[in-house]
Structure 1
Amino acid sequence: MKDLNETVALLWSKLEDWSDDIILMLPNLFVALVLLILTFYIAKVVRNTVDRVMGRFSHSAALNNLVTTLVYLGVLVLGFFFVLNVLNLDKVVISLLAGVGIIGLALGFAFQDIAANFISGVIIAMQKPFGVGDMIETNDYFGIIERITLRTVDIRKVTGELVKLPNKMVFENPLTNFSVHGVRRVDVEVGVSYAEDLEQVQQVVIEALQDVKNRVKTRDVEVMYDAFGDSSINFKARFWISYSRQVDYVGAKSDAIIRIKKAFDANDILIPFPIRTLDFGIKGGEKLSEELKTISASIKNGQGLSGNGQ
């Protein structure tokens, strides 16, 4: 019974000490409560202000939301530390800071790839090297950007597949943006016979491509010879088109090929087949078709004489 009385007395003494401490800390508790309420209010005001400011400088919703959230949490953490300081819990503050540092270091090692994609996404959102709807080629993928997040860039390939590329891969590797200037050059490779008048061919092609689909009229059509092929002299017809989708490019190139073929047919310009011929001294400047007619006529005359002799 004596031990029980001593235990109760000790417990009561502790409760009295705690009640005295609570009474002494009431002013601090009141100040801490007011400071905590002000912290939430100030954090909300700062978040709304930052959101309005970010909306003027950035059109990326993901980036704006990230910045405003980080600012909001930063104000809350700062106010929380002030509350703990008012309550004379300095040791708790130091312990929390140390714990946050250790946890942050551990998470950094564990999620370094995620962090790299996240940071790359932030940089991409700030630099804006491309936007939704642009036609790009990167990491051997070619297509239209459908969505940009802080983790991936979603590309719809021209064949329909959707590719989600991590931001780190897009940021660290070369990227070609075909839509950034709104124009693109089309190169059409063609070969003509060695017997053709090259200047005439050049003029025929230039005239044929004047009204090709989507052509930029302020830039001239160029026809440049670039190689002596096995059975033809090769050239490139180059012209510029207005470009927003891949169908603009392939459509213009197809139209150019059709126009060149029609122009060649109308002017009796020969596109030779890749065949191997034997040279028996035919002059390169003479028409190949005329030489073939001469040879054919000679063969017929020889057959006729042979028949008369019989």
Structure 2
Amino acid sequence: MPRRLALLLCLAGLALAQWAGATPAQSARPPASMQEDADPPAADPAVVAALRDADRAVQERLAARLAVIPGLEKSRVEVSGGVATLRGLAADDARRQLAATIAEQAQDVVLVENRLELDTDVRTRTAPVFEEAVERLRNLYSALPLLLVAGAIVVGAWWVGRWLSLRPGLQRRMRRNPFLVDLTRQAIRIGALLAGLVIALDLLDAGALVGALLGTAGVAGIAVGFAFRDVAENYIAGILLSLRQPFAPHDHVVIDGHEGKVAALTSRATVLVTLDGNHLRLPNALVFKGVMLNYSRNPQRQFAFDVGIANGASVSHAQRVGREALATIEGILEEPAPSVLILELGDSTTVLRVTAWIDQRNTSFAAARSEAIRLLKRAFLKHHIEMPDPGYRVELHQRGPGDPVAPAPPPSRPGAPALEAEAGASADLRAEHHIDRQIDRDHAATAGNLLDPDAPRE
């Protein structure tokens, strides 16, 4: 700064001396516009010398400063009239920009022209990498005791979580739901491990890493949730079904139109054995949201069928005969009593609705209904209760001119079975257990069954 101030004072003194020594003839010169062809005034040698001294001083300072910076040893600087030109080689682009910044901040520099090129020498380019790797190894070695403490915290948290998950109290509280016990144990272990990781990262002053991991986990969770939405839905529905226990093994159910006996409940699907012995797997989400009909919840079950009689037959007689026939079946319950009700009155048919109750634990539903239909038909035949014939019959009788008209015999129903053909031994109405035996075999081979036969039902 003093050098520049002295230079300015020198220039001002020269200007005053030049103005004071001007002659009247010189002062009467024409304006500058009239002297376009005149030569420009020459620079003052003293001013030029002062500027060169300033440039030389700036160049020496910049050259010394760049020489001590790693990666800029092969660079050089030239300063002329306050313009600094950088030439030579830089180790990388960061060093190149650093040199330009240093030159811009230097005193008496009005412009920087950066002509530095990147050094392609292998040794020069790899030296900073090795130096940084060595520095990181040194930092790691110095932080090794802290890393060991953080690792010990994580291992200790995992051990504490495992110890808490194996406490007998958890088993006693959830003894009716083994799946929930396993799920709770896993949640305790994972929660304790995550707590240990957070403490260890905080000890290592990696709080930003914890936030980044949590953010990444959140985004990944959303993506995985959309990708495996059906799997997650079935899994959650399996947990809720294991808590509610809406059915037990061997229950005869109809779920969303699918009928069968319950064999197993896994974390993803409910397994039914259909009445023809086939396995049917239903997604737990469908079971949880679908309409369910459980035939086994009430041991007593009613069967019903319709039967038609001719309009000429006595309805009350047919009802009495039907109730007596149903009362002879061993598996039919006396209370509620069987009933034969009028369902519909048609042009040629009176439709009766026949109902009766059985105990499913001892009597087969299908066999009891079949036997009731057989015995009711036999009783109607025995008591001459005519059943409707939907067909039309035309009978032609030939007679002579003088023959009297004889009354037509009562029409005989073609194909009407004889009463003796309906006689026979009673059917076996005992409850069938072959499906239950198949379910027991499958239950022993199914892993992860969430059904508890002793759990309370909703």
Normalised by the length of structure 1, the TM-score is: 0.76
Q: CA deviation at 1:176?
A: 1.5
Matches within 5 A, 1:138-287: 138-243=255-360, 248-276=364-392
Structure number with greater Rg is 2
Provide the residue aligned with 1:56 in structure 2. Answer: 175
Percent identical pairs in the alignment equals 24
Provide the residue aligned with 1:102 in structure 2. Answer: 219
- Give unpaired runs (5+ residues) of structure 1: 279-292, 298-310
Separation in structure 1 between the aligned mates of residue 331 and residue 195 of structure 2, nearest angstrom? 59
Q: Structure 2 vs 1, CA of residues 294 and 162 (structure 1 numbering), >3 Å: closer, same or farther?
A: farther
The answer to whether the 8 A contact 1:231-1:275 is kept is no
Identify which of 235, 238, 245 aligns with 1:121. 238
Q: CA deviation at 1:80?
A: 2.2
Aligned residue type for 2:254: E
Q: Structure 2 vs 1, CA of residues 14 and 294 (structure 1 numbering), >3 Å: closer, same or farther?
A: closer
Separation in structure 2 between the aligned mates of residue 15 and residue 173 of structure 1, nearest angstrom? 62
Pick which of 62-71 and 175-184 moved more.
62-71
Q: Structure 2 vs 1, CA of residues 11 and 40 (structure 1 numbering), >3 Å: closer, same or farther?
A: closer
Q: CA deviation at 1:10?
A: 8.4
Q: CA deviation at 1:113?
A: 1.3
Aligned residue type for 2:161: A
The answer to whether the 8 A contact 1:135-1:244 is kept is no
Provide the residue aligned with 2:161 in structure 1. Answer: 43
- Give unpaired runs (5+ residues) of structure 2: 1-122, 395-405, 411-458
Separation in structure 2 between the aligned mates of residue 261 and residue 122 of structure 1, nearest angstrom? 51
Q: CA deviation at 1:172?
A: 2.4
Aligned residue type for 1:103: A
Q: CA deviation at 1:238?
A: 0.8
Pick which of 36-45 and 232-241 moved more.
36-45
User: Cα deviation per residue 1:253-288 (whole Å; 9 max; x = unaligned)?
Assistant: 01111221222233222223223589xxxxxxxxxx
Q: More helix per residue: 1 or 2?
A: 1
Provide the residue aligned with 2:229 in structure 1. Answer: 112
Q: CA deviation at 1:145?
A: 1.9
The answer to whether the 8 A contact 2:235-2:268 is kept is yes
Pick which of 43-52 and 145-154 moved more.
43-52
Separation in structure 2 between the aligned mates of residue 105 and residue 190 of structure 1, nearest angstrom? 60
Aligned residue type for 1:228: L
How big is the alpha-carbon RMSD for the aligned residues of Structure 1 and Structure 2? 3.1
Q: Secondary structure at the match of 1:271?
A: coil
Q: CA deviation at 1:111?
A: 0.8
Provide the residue aligned with 2:254 in structure 1. Answer: 137
Aligned residue type for 2:357: W
